[in-house]
């Protein structure tokens, strides 16, 4: 998906303010943005925190008053966030749109592998992890990143060949605001969490960023070429809108 403009305003952390409501205390990060014209609150699902964007000349007193007026809204939005799902034994994690149950196999050889459910078996396929319990979360995440890289690189190569373009490089990160981006130099960046989504969603995002190698915008010409690459544009966009934020609850959170 298209990234932020190259001349996007820089933000700088100012401080934190705390506000209490209904017996709970919320810590709000304050950020000034040069183009902001009003106070704006945002609850971030990935980091489970709250950020107040404020104009350059906004006062801390004004910021506190604004937050206090919206304390109830903050509490409701935080409560609605899906519960975290750590990468631990007995937990579930989606892989290519299918839930898998993580099981610890400390005495077996190998690192991480999938054991599919038997035909007719209603239980979930297993994601088996060897080693000590302290290393399970890291091994699961490393496995998901490897699988994501394999699927994304294959999808990018397929779509790039159709258009006769070549990306400069492909990078995987744990982004919280964009599933993919294309730089002006032709470097593609993706969230490794796309491996949790159905295959057609990952394929669509790969096609989307490859199309940006031709058009660095969202003009009609861009959407026309994307339509040639992917037959699931609307379906994938709808899935991401409905389920994308939920992928951020799996595994460790960013600080």
**Where along the chain do its domains lie?**
11-80, 92-249
Going by pLDDT thresholds of 50, 70 and 90, the confidence category of residue 176 is confident
Write out the DSSP string of 188-255: EEEEGGGGGS-HHHHHHHHHHHHHTTT-SS--HHHHHHHHHH-S-HHHHHHHHHHHGGGGGGBSPPP-
Which CATH topology does 92-249 take? Zincin-like (3.30.2010)
Question: pTM for the full model?
Answer: 0.76
Give yes or no for residue 111 having a pLDDT over 70. yes
Sign (positive or negative) of CA dihedral 163, 164, 168, 170: positive
- pLDDT tens column, 203-220: 999 999 999 999 999 999
**Average pLDDT of every residue of the chain:** 88
Query: Which band of pLDDT confidence, cut at 50, 70 and 90, is reported for residue 114?
Result: very high
Token look-up 């890291």 returns: 138
DSSP string for 178-204: -SEEE-TTSEEEEEGGGGGS-HHHHHH
- pLDDT per position as a tens digit, 1-28: 433 333 433 434 458 888 888 888 989 9
Pairing of the two strands 180-182 and 187-191:
antiparallel
Per residue in 43-96, pLDDT tens?
A: 887 678 899 999 988 888 899 999 999 999 999 988 888 778 899 999 999 999
């Amino acid at each position: 998906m298209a990234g932020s403009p190259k001349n996007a305003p820089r933000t700088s952390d100012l401080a934190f303010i705390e506000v209490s409501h209904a017996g709970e205390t919320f810590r709000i990060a304050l950020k000034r943005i040069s183009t902001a014209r009003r106070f704006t609150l945002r609850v971030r699902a990935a980091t489970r925190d709250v950020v107040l964007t404020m104009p350059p000349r906004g006062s801390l007193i004004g910021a506190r008053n604004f937050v206090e007026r919206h304390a109830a809204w903050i509490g409701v939005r935080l409560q609605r966030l899906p519960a975290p799902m750590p990468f631990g034994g007995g937990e579930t994690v989606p892989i290519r749109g299918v839930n898998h149950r993580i099981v610890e196999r400390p005495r077996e050889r190998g690192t991480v592998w999938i054991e599919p459910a038997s035909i007719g078996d209603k239980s979930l396929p297993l994601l088996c992890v060897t080693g000590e319990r302290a290393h399970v979360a890291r091994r699961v995440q490393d496995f998901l990143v490897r699988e994501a890289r394999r699927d994304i690189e294959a999808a990018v190569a397929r779509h790039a060949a159709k258009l006769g373009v070549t990306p400069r490089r492909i990078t995987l990160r744990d982004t919280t605001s964009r599933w993919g981006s294309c730089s002006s130099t032709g470097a593609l960046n993706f969230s490794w969490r796309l491996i949790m989504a159905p295959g057609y969603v990952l394929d669509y995002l790969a096609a989307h960023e490859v199309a940006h190698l031709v058009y660095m915008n969202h003009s009609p010409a861009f959407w026309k070429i994307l339509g040639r690459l992917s037959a699931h544009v609307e379906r994938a966009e709808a899935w991401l809108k409905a389920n994308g934020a939920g992928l951020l609850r799996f595994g460790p959170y960013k600080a």
